[in-house]
Amino acid sequence: MSSPSPCLRILFVCLGNICRSPAAEIIFQKVVDDAGLSDHYKIDSAGIIGHHHGSPPDSRMAESLKRQGFRIHGRARQINAEDLLEHDLIITMDETNLADVKSLAPDASLHGKIRPFVSFCRFHKDPRVPDPYYGGQRGFDHVIEMLKDGCKGILESVSKC
Ligand code: 4NP
């Protein structure tokens, strides 16, 4: 029997698509796989800028993720206007990403599906997922803890599909 088509298409967005959003994609994929819901979701990530197009996740983020048992996958790409139409939920890492994605929308009726990642966090109260790019390894570990919290929150909030 063929697998059902995904009921929800989710896109994670950050600035470069090499640190936060690919990590969110990897972590959310594991959350849905562990829940036996792999067929229900199509999960992707993209960046506001295309500077890192084709690059794998940043080696420091990959290192922190691997240490926690996550499998690394994905190549960076830039978000485009079609992404706004093709995805049901677009989850941004900080306020600037949120404003930038909204500005890509052809009309404001699409703004409702663009949501800040932190709105799904159950325990972390940070106003944004901080950009770890210019910091040290501990910044990457902190981002992963936030992403694990929020990814479980996403599944709780959309689990009816
Ligand atoms: P990300 O981190 O948005 O979490 O992927 C960054 C990656 C690259 C740059 C900035 C942030 N950059 O300026 O190249």
Report the candidate in 98, 103, 96 with the shortest Cα–Cα distance to residue 115.
98
Is residue 3 one of the residues assigned to a domain? no
Count up the domains in the chain and report the number. Answer: 1
Q: How far is the CA of 33 from the centre of ligand 1 (A)?
A: 27
C-alpha dist (Å) from residue 117 to 18, 67, 69, 122, 128: 16, 23, 22, 11, 8
User: Does the C-beta of 53 come closer than 6 Å to ligand 1?
Assistant: no
Q: What is the pLDDT of residue 5?
A: 77
Ligand 1: nearest atom to the Cα of 51: 14
Pick left, alpha or beta for residue 90 (phi over 0 → left; psi -120 to 50 → alpha; otherwise beta): beta
Q: Per residue in 100-143, pLDDT tens?
A: 999 999 899 999 999 999 999 999 999 999 999 999 999 999 99
User: Does the C-beta of 16 come closer than 6 Å to ligand 1?
Assistant: yes
Ligand 1 pocket mutation pick from 14, 15, 52 by most atoms within 8 angstroms of CB: 15
Ligand 1: nearest atom to the Cα of 17: 5
Q: What is the pTM of this model?
A: 0.96
Is residue 2 one of the residues assigned to a domain? no
Q: Is residue 6 very low, low, confident or very high in pLDDT (cuts 50, 70, 90)? A: confident
Q: What is the pLDDT of residue 160?
A: 60
Ligand 1: nearest atom to the Cα of 15: 3
Active site residue ranges: 14, 20, 131
3-state helix, strand and coil shares in percent for the chain, rounded to the nearest 5 = 45, 15, 40
Is residue 19 one of the residues assigned to a domain? yes
Q: List CB contacts of 141: < 8 A, sequence separation 6 or more.
A: 64
Is residue 59 one of the residues assigned to a domain? yes
Which CATH number fits the domain that encloses residue 59?
Answer: 3.40.50.2300
- Residue-range definition of the domain harbouring residue 136: 8-158
Q: How far is the CA of 69 from the centre of ligand 1 (A)?
A: 23
Helices (H), the chain: 20-34, 59-67, 81-86, 95-104, 137-158
Token digits of residue 70: 């996550």
Q: Is residue 1 very low, low, confident or very high in pLDDT (cuts 50, 70, 90)? A: very low
Is residue 1 one of the residues assigned to a domain? no
pLDDT above 70: residue 2: no
Q: Per residue in 26-83, pLDDT tens?
A: 999 999 999 999 999 999 999 999 999 999 999 999 999 999 999 999 999 999 999 9
Q: Determine the Cα–Cα distance for residues 48 and 96; give it in Å rounded to an integer.
A: 10
pLDDT, average across residues 1-13: 80
